[in-house]
Structure 1
Amino acid sequence: MANSPLNGKRLGILVGGGPAPGINGVISSVTIEAILNHGMEVIGFQNGFRHLVEGSTTKNRVLTVDAVAASYHRGGSILGTARTNPAKDEKDMAKVLGVLKEMNIDCLVTIGGDDTAFSGSQVAKRVGPGAVRGPGENKFLRVCHVPKTIDNDLPLPEGTPTFGFETARHLGTLTTRNLHADAKTTGRWYVIISMGRAAGHLALGIGKSSASTITLIPEEFRDKSITLEGIADAIIGSILKRKLQGKDYGVAVLAEGLIESIGEKGLLSALGEDELKHYGRIERDEHGHLRLGELEFGRIVKDYLKKRLKELGQKMDFIDKDLGYELRSADPIPFDAEYTRDLGYGAVKFLASDLSSQYGAIISFIDGRMVPLPFEQMIDPKTQRMRPRKVNVDSESFKCALRYMVRLEHADLEEAASLKALSGLTNLSPEAFKARFLPTITE
């Protein structure tokens, strides 16, 4: 402790963005490591940057080992969280820097996703390594960011998950398995919408782990246009193939990012604005575009499936289920409990190193070793975000996932007897059936 360059220093810690299992693990690990092994005082800022942009020096608390020791395995965040982004306004950022200076903060650890990482990087840019400070201005600050999201879409090294993802996949899988049992018992289909706007990791992880009948993610469409009709027909193809197997039930898992891929024009083309009003508030942003997050995507898909099946002479019962919010503040499974301890320890290790006097960084682990990833390498200054990590649809893992789904394949449409059997379940001729469903096949 006596030899630590952080001895006697003050460390601030805050959480931004949406919840993820393991936040308390990071807070706990950072606090214990900083106090016991580096002789620091730790200040927890409540609700992210929200009160800092107000210039408040009172919405925080001193964190002690006893206060955080028992929280590492609990869900939620003992410091709360908020989506306030001080980097959008220089006046807000000035207030943040003013509070940090007034409270004599020497090191800052931010926990969050893209926006929080960018905010942390902007603090580092202004008062961190390389920043030019005049007389009386903020003192030098060491800054690092611990990335979190259940979507697993931040560009960490290959095979390195964001914390919270494994817990969300685990609990989402258990829920989906239960729904699969209900589907089998009652003879119906479930349409499950999984969180994950930028990438399909969580949807695919849940679908694959629960042996769901079919999983659809935006990445699998590659450069092809994604339409509501195409999504519905991919699921209908699975439904019909299951019927030939004597099974009138199933589970379809869809990534919520599919609605973004369909887009405003696609939804309006398939449904029209009047019908779209039945699925949520029709709100538009300052550019006149629909806020797709206000629409119930699961219910849209469910009703559209019924309509498309009816046109084919088929009927099926569906139930839609959104999966995500109940996963975000869950107690972390052992993987994330252990992983977040590593991340918290790694954050303080970085801050105590000479590297933190050279740059601010995002904390990552590769092959069991802490690797700080400089903000400048990870964040695009134009978009103010990290490049989303997409599902690698050329990987063996994705190909394996496809093999265990029930989906139409080329053989189903090329073999005459199979094509005749499938088309016989509908009012389409074999030729018309093949023409309609051939585009739904994933290569």
Structure 2
Amino acid sequence: MAESSPRGTLAIVVGGGPAPGINGVISAVTIEAINQGLEVIGTRDGFKHLAAGDVSQTRRLTIPDVAPFYNRGGSILGTSRTNPAKKAEDMRNVLTSLERLGAKYLVTIGGDDTAYSGSQVYKQAGGKIKVAHVPKTIDNDLPLPPGIPTFGFETARHLGVELAQSLHEDAKTTTRWYLIVSMGRAAGHLALGIGKAAAATVTIISEEFKNRPVTIDTICDIIIGSMIKRQSKGKGYGLVVLAEGLIESIGEEGLLAALGTHLDRYGSMERDPFGHLRLGEIEFGRMIRDQIKQRLDVLGMKATMVDKDLGYELRCADPIPFDVEYTRNLGYGAVKFLLSDESDKYGAIVSFVGGSMKPLRFEDMIVRETQRMKPRQVDAESETYECARRYMIRLEKIDFDDPVKLAELAAVVKMTPDQFVERFGYLVK
């Protein structure tokens, strides 16, 4: 495909799962690039077709093509999780395909896996292709500067809170417990953000365990402790938010140890092309619900529970104004970086700090051994997390230190105070 612009051609690739604001980036990149004299090519389905050496699934983008979609959810270019860095042949095909398209510039939009793929395009192209990556994930787990979210997170949290608040009201109305599993493979930002803003009864994330093992027993007992505490006040309902990353923290061995041959009831242990467990294949909420029910039966306590996964509903939502503005900044910043002298020296992840574009070098962001960025996790020592914990209803040390409170809690499950301490006291140590 011959170049039609004297300044060259810019290609756009979207990888990974959807997030609100992808079209905002595509729109901003396209408009600014065309205004700067570039031709823009959109590639369909991420690296999938390029890795197969197929350039037929590309399209020339114009301003009228993208302008109406700047504030719409989804991706007009689709997306995929194809990892061209996994096989040398796939990467050669990507480079050959981009050369056939006449691409001198590449904007990748995605998470850490897509960032790594983009970094390898830059490295193996030997300077022929300049690369800028726009970080995207509703998990907010990429190591951007402090206080800077990944685009899509704020929209996902906003809509997640609305859904959680509705379920919370349903729980109160019908006297039941909802167990929500929120997306967040490597970090609990989304779960905590939803739980805190929706005034969930309790939110559980992997980071709170610090160096302690994460087990199904502990997760169930934290929730049961909340149920007992609520019941002691005459309230038989509540809302629990669980980060899906708890599954990986438990690990395959932990799941097998707890469930044995029953594990296959809750899905398979499949992995994606990047080696991640397909968490969506595991019915974690139903698993925890069933395990809690077994434990409640032993305790002689009853509760109606409903489990619900929360995440796919959020990924293709129309972005809220924060992400509409943010993605325009990021798209503009990506083009500005690619046309700067700095892009001759390194490929970068685009970030904005204090209103100014800040390119972050691939080599400074991606850990060579893991081929991924180091996850940005929730700081469980921060006042922000401390505040979240203070407004949760869960067993605390003070409940065991106060004889009156301890007796009230023990009475709910017909235990003596000593028996209650022996059964649940480990949770507050």
Q: TM-score, normalised by structure 1?
A: 0.93
Aligned to 1:263, which of 251, 265, 270?
A: 251
Partners of 2:260 and 2:182 in 1: how far apart? 25
Q: Deviation of residue 384 (structure 1)?
A: 0.6
CA 1:406–1:120: 2 relative to 1, 3 Å:
same
Partners of 1:241 and 1:389 in 2: how far apart? 33
Partners of 1:126 and 1:29 in 2: how far apart? 27
* SS of residue matched to 1:314: coil
Q: Within 5 A, what are the aligned runs for 1:157-306?
A: 157-273=145-261, 275-281=262-268, 293-306=280-293
Q: Deviations over 1:131-153 (max 9, x none)?
A: xxxxxxxxx21111001000000
* SS of residue matched to 1:76: coil
Partners of 1:285 and 1:343 in 2: how far apart? 28
What one-letter code is carried by the residue in structure 2 that aligns with 1:109?
Answer: V
Partners of 2:403 and 2:100 in 1: how far apart? 78
Partners of 1:285 and 1:32 in 2: how far apart? 34
Q: Deviation of residue 290 (structure 1)?
A: 8.5
Aligned to 1:62, which of 60, 63, 73?
A: 60
Runs (5+) with no aligned partner, structure 1: 1-5, 130-139
Partners of 2:252 and 2:107 in 1: how far apart? 38
What one-letter code is carried by the residue in structure 2 that aligns with 1:307?
Answer: Q
Q: Is the 8 A contact 1:128 1:359 kept in 2?
A: no
Q: Which residue of 2 aligns with 1:389?
A: 376
Q: Deviation of residue 293 (structure 1)?
A: 4.9
Partners of 2:277 and 2:109 in 1: how far apart? 30
Q: Deviation of residue 283 (structure 1)?
A: 5.8
Q: Within 5 A, what are the aligned runs for 1:107-118?
A: 107-118=105-116
Q: Is the 8 A contact 1:57 1:103 kept in 2?
A: yes
CA 1:270–1:198: 2 relative to 1, 3 Å:
same
Partners of 2:310 and 2:272 in 1: how far apart? 26
Q: Deviation of residue 432 (structure 1)?
A: 2.0
CA 1:396–1:7: 2 relative to 1, 3 Å:
farther
What one-letter code is carried by the residue in structure 2 that aligns with 1:208?
Answer: K
Q: Which residue of 1 aligns with 2:25?
A: 26
Q: Is the 8 A contact 2:44 2:79 kept in 1?
A: yes
Q: Which residue of 1 aligns with 2:361?
A: 374
CA 1:353–1:290: 2 relative to 1, 3 Å:
closer
Q: Deviations over 1:208-266 (max 9, x none)?
A: 01000000000001111111111011011111111122211000000001111112222
Give RMSD over aligned pairs: 1.7
Q: Which residue of 2 aligns with 1:432?
A: 419
Aligned to 1:330, which of 306, 317, 324?
A: 317
Q: TM-score, normalised by structure 2?
A: 0.96
Q: Is the 8 A contact 1:128 1:360 kept in 2?
A: no
Q: Is the 8 A contact 2:244 2:279 kept in 1?
A: no
**Structure 1 stretch displaced more, 327-336 or 304-313:** 304-313
Give percent identity, aligned residues only.
61
Runs (5+) with no aligned partner, structure 2: none
Q: Deviations over 1:135-172 (max 9, x none)?
A: xxxxx211110010000001111101000000100001
* SS of residue matched to 2:412: coil
Q: Deviations over 1:402-425 (max 9, x none)?
A: 111111111101111111110011
Moved over 4 A (4+): 282-286, 289-293
